[in-house]
Amino acid sequence: MSQPMILEPPSDAELMSRVREGDREAFADLVDRHKDPVVNYLVRLTADRDRAEDLAQETFLRLFRSAEGYTEQGYLRAFLFRIATNLVRSEERRAQRLRLLMPFLPREEHAEPAAHSGLLRRELHREVSAAVAKLPLRYRVPLVLHEIEGWSYVDIAQEIGCREGTVKSRVHRGRQKLKEKLEPYWNGGTAWKTTG
């Protein structure tokens, strides 16, 4: 009696080679496989759910368009994260130019933190996310990749093209800056005060 054959899911490399030939189904499989990590990464970089979703879509579109020139190196997700990082960088530069162009734009008002104790956890996450998103990109990317995505220093160094020591230093500096940003909140900001 022959044993049932178990089909291994195709690897990223196999799917990418099919994408190169214009296979939309293979592309859809790739999107399905990587969409959640890419969206999560972008939410952490931007602290904006809608923007992250839009940038994630654009990330996959760029992957499709660059499939011809893509060289398989065994880690497609790193390539996607690189595209996503570049998109955030470009978008922030555009936003900066726009701010320079229109100096009379009103500043974004931050909503008052909710005081209800039941919302504290969500509020804390919101504060941390916002503080992360305000870090300069050179600290934000390594910090998110290391602390949230769990990448090693070596992998990050390889991905962003700098030395491991530089990555360590940026992660450390990112942590320090994040602590400074969260310090007022940590030391009895309004959201920590419970009612009653």
Stretch that binds another protein, among 6-14, 56-64, 109-117, 161-169 (CB under 8 A): 56-64
CA nearest to 114, candidates 169, 192, 45: 192
Residues 192, 120 contacting (CB under 8 angstroms) = yes
- Residue 28 interacting with another protein (CB under 8 A): yes
Residues 143, 135 contacting (CB under 8 angstroms) = yes
Burial 126-147 (b: 16+ CB within 10 A, else e): bbbbebbbebeeebbbbbbbbe
Residues 118, 194 contacting (CB under 8 angstroms) = no
Stretch that binds another protein, among 8-16, 51-59, 133-141, 188-196 (CB under 8 A): 51-59
Binding to another protein (CB under 8 A) within 68-97 occurs at none
- Residue 175 interacting with another protein (CB under 8 A): yes
Residues at the contact surface with another protein, assessed by CB under 8 A:
24, 27-28, 31-32, 35-36, 38-40, 43-44, 49, 52-53, 56-57, 60-61, 64, 101-102, 124-125, 128-129, 132, 143, 147-148, 175, 178-179, 182-183, 186
